[in-house]
Structure 1
C-alpha cells in the first residue's frame, strides 16, 4: 500500500500553495459579444442583472479577497462595479468568439500577480448560493486540493449515437436493458454543471488547464443547477431563480423621491397662502415597516421644487427620516451617500418616478416606480407598483422590500440545513 501511495503522489504535479496568506479571487467572465442572447450577462432576470446573481453570492460568501468581472464592454463594466465587483478589461485577443475561458483567465492572472487561487464563476448560473462557494473553497484551502469544480447528479440512461445513414445498431452505455434499475436503486452519474471552477494559479499558468493535480468535485443540488444559453432557457430560469435563487441579505438603505412617490405630486394652496402636500397614511405606515426592519429611509426632494424644500422640517418630523435635496440628476448625490456609508448598490433600494431616476433605479439592488411613473423610469425599475404615487405605492414597495429580506433570511437558514445534511 505504501508503494502504491508513493507512485500515485509522484504522478501528481506539486501545485501546493506555499504562501503564508493565500489571495483567493472570484472571477466572472462576461464578454459583451454573446451570440445567443445579446448582452445576456446584464439582461434582467427576475429583476436583477444576470451577473448580479452570482456576484451577490460571491460577495456574500465572504471567502474571497477580491471579486472581479472580466469584460470588454462598458455597460457590463458599469453593472459589475455597481454590484461591488472590480473590473479587468480584457484585451481584444481574448474577446473573440473563439477565445477560451482558459485564455481569458490566464490573461487575468498575468495582470494580477498577487492572486494564488481563482474561482471562475459562470455568469449564467443564477441559482448559485454563498454556501456552495464556501464549502467548495474549503477543499482547496483546507484539504489541499489543486482544483475543484461543481457537478450535479443525473439519473439518465445513455445510448450510443448512430450517425445518419449508418447500418450500425445503437447499444446502451451505462445500463443493462434486461435489468433496468429503478431510480431509487441507482446512484446516477455526476455531470459538470458549469457553475464554477476553482484552481490554483500554477495549475492554470504552468499546466495550462482548469482541472488537474489533486482534483475534487463539489456536488450541487439539481434545483440549483441552472444554466442559460439561449432565449428559450430564460423563462424557465426565471421561474427557477424566483424559487431557488439567492436573494442576498436584504437592503439596509432606501432612497425615496418625495414628489410623485411619497406624494401624488399635487400642491395645495390655502386661502392664507400656505403651501401643502398630502401624504397618505398607507405610505407613512410603509416607512414605519421599513424602519422596523432596520432599513434606513432617506427622502429625496428636488432643488427645483421650492414648495417641497420649504416643507423639509415638517417632512422630517412626520416621517422621522432624513430629507436630502438633490439636483435634476440625483445619481451623483445618492452615489456619495452610498459610498460614505460604505455600502454597495446591491444593499440599496430606490424608488423614483422620473426619467432622471433611471440610473439609480438600474443600479439599486431593489428598485420600484409607481404605476403612473414616466416610461423611462418604468423601463429602468425592477418592480412596478400596481398603485399610483401618493396613494399607497410606497407601502406596496415597502412590503416587497420586507418580503425579500424575509426570503433572504429563510434561504440562508435553509442553506445551512441543506449543506449540513447533503
Structure 2
C-alpha cells in the first residue's frame, strides 16, 4: 500500500509520468512521432509533463527505436516494453503493470495519452496533487459535452427514443450543465490499484478539462483539425515564442534547394521559391525584421536580398557570432529571435533562439534540435511554411493574456 506522511497527509513514494507509445499504430503509421504543427506528436505531452514539475521521472514505454530516440531528446526516460505487451491485442493496463514490475520503486503513476497534444502543465498539476495530497486513489480527466442522445434503432421500423432529455422541453445549451465524459487524456492512480487491474477505484476523483483542450487523434481525418487546435491551444513551453521581432533565414538549403548549378560557360545560378518571398513580405508587414545568413559568397543571394530589400551577410563562418551582433544592435533577447536553418553551421543558432525551424530535408540532428519541421523541402516552400507558423504564433499571442486568465486554475 502507498505510504502517507501523517504530518502532511501527503503520499510518499516516487511519482512517475508514463506515456505508452507503441510503434505499431494501425490507423496512422508511427502516429506517435509523426510531425504535428512541426513537432513530433509525442513531444507536445512530454513537454507538458516535464514542465509541470509534478513528477520525479517522466517515462515512455515503447517497442520502437525511433520513438525511443525522440522521447529521450525531449527529456524522457525509456522503458523497452516486451513483445508480450506490444501486439494489437495488448491492453493499456497490461503495459502499465509490466512497467511497474520493472520499477518497484514507483508508487504513483500519471498515465498520459500521447494523442492529447493540447495538454497543459496545469492539466497534470491538478490531478497529481489530488492523488498525492488530496487523498484520492485515482483521478482521471473528463470534458463536458452537451450532446443529446437517442436510443439506437436495431430493427427496421423500430422507433427511437430520447435518452437524456425531453424532446418536448429541449434544453438550451446555456441552461444545461451537460455531461462529464472521460476524454482519455490522463489517468492517475496508485501502484496498488494498477496492479489489481484497475485504472479507477478506491477513492475516485476527476479533473475537468475545457473542451478546447480535449482532442484525440485516431485517424488521418483528425490530423488537420488537431494541427490547427494545437497552434491555438497547445503548450509551447516555458520559452514564450510569441514575441518574435527578428526572423533569420539561412540562404543555402532554406531559401534555395542547396544546389549550385553551373552552366557550360562557367556561370552559376540557384533557384528560389516565389512563395517564400510572399511569406517574408507578410512578416515584414506585421512589423518583424527579416535578415539572411549565408556561408557562401554568391551574387545570386545578393540579387535575391536586394530584390526583397533584406539585409544579407555572406561568407559567414560563425553564424552565432553574427546573430549575436544583430541581437545587440536591435536590443533583443534571444527569445525575440526566430531562425530557420538546415545544417551544421546553423546548429548553435537554432538551439539559442526562441523559435527555430528547418525544412523537411534538413540534416537529422537539426530536425531533432528545432521546434518546427516544415513538411516542405528547402527552396520548395519551407520558408513560407515557417512564415505561416510564425504568423499563427503571433495570432496566439494576441489572445495570450485572455488565455492566461482562462488557464489559471480556480
* TM-score, length-scaled by structure 1: 0.69
In structure 2, what is the equivalent of residue 360 of structure 1? 365
In structure 2, what is the equivalent of residue 273 of structure 1? none
Once the two structures are TM-superposed, the CA of residue 418 in structure 1 deviates from its matched residue by 2.0
Q: Mark the runs of 5 or more structure 1 residues left unpaired by the alignment.
A: 1-13, 270-277, 302-327, 339-343, 379-383, 388-392
Quick one: which of 365, 383, 386 aligns to 1:385? 383
Quick one: which of 62, 67, 70 aligns to 1:76? 67
Q: Is 1:354–1:374's contact at 8 Å kept on the other side of the alignment?
A: no
Change (3 A) 1:418 1:352: closer
2:405 is the counterpart of 1:417: yes
Once the two structures are TM-superposed, the CA of residue 61 in structure 1 deviates from its matched residue by 0.8
Q: Is 1:121–1:195's contact at 8 Å kept on the other side of the alignment?
A: yes
Quick one: which of 155, 165, 175 aligns to 1:185? 175
* Aligned 1:14-413 pairs, distance under 5 A: 17=4, 21-165=12-156, 168-205=158-195, 207-250=196-239, 262-267=292-297, 281=311, 287-288=326-327, 292-295=332-335, 330=344, 357-367=362-372, 373=378, 384-386=382-384, 400=390, 404=393, 411=400
Q: Mark the runs of 5 or more structure 2 residues left unpaired by the alignment.
A: 242-246, 255-291, 300-304, 314-321
Greater CA drift, 214-223 or 134-143: 134-143
Q: Is 1:128–1:246's contact at 8 Å kept on the other side of the alignment?
A: yes
Instruction: Give per-residue Cα distances to partners, 1:111-146, cap 9 Å, x unaligned.
Output: 111211111110111111011111121111111101
Change (3 A) 1:414 1:106: farther
Matches of 2:187 and 2:58 in 1, distance apart?
14
Instruction: Give SS of 1:153's match.
Output: strand
In structure 2, what is the equivalent of residue 5 of structure 1? none
Once the two structures are TM-superposed, the CA of residue 20 in structure 1 deviates from its matched residue by 7.0
In structure 2, what is the equivalent of residue 311 of structure 1? none
Instruction: Give SS of 2:79's match.
Output: strand
In structure 2, what is the equivalent of residue 4 of structure 1? none
Q: Is 2:33–2:40's contact at 8 Å kept on the other side of the alignment?
A: yes
Once the two structures are TM-superposed, the CA of residue 404 in structure 1 deviates from its matched residue by 4.8
Change (3 A) 1:352 1:420: closer
Equivalences, count: 345
Matches of 1:112 and 1:346 in 2, distance apart?
36
Greater CA drift, 145-154 or 282-291: 282-291
Once the two structures are TM-superposed, the CA of residue 421 in structure 1 deviates from its matched residue by 6.3
* TM-score, length-scaled by structure 2: 0.71
Q: Is 1:26–1:121's contact at 8 Å kept on the other side of the alignment?
A: yes
Change (3 A) 1:350 1:246: closer
Change (3 A) 1:179 1:141: same
Instruction: Give SS of 2:129's match.
Output: helix
Matches of 2:119 and 2:184 in 1, distance apart?
11
Instruction: Give SS of 1:116's match.
Output: strand
Q: Is 2:153–2:159's contact at 8 Å kept on the other side of the alignment?
A: yes
Instruction: Give SS of 1:93's match.
Output: helix
Instruction: Give SS of 1:123's match.
Output: coil
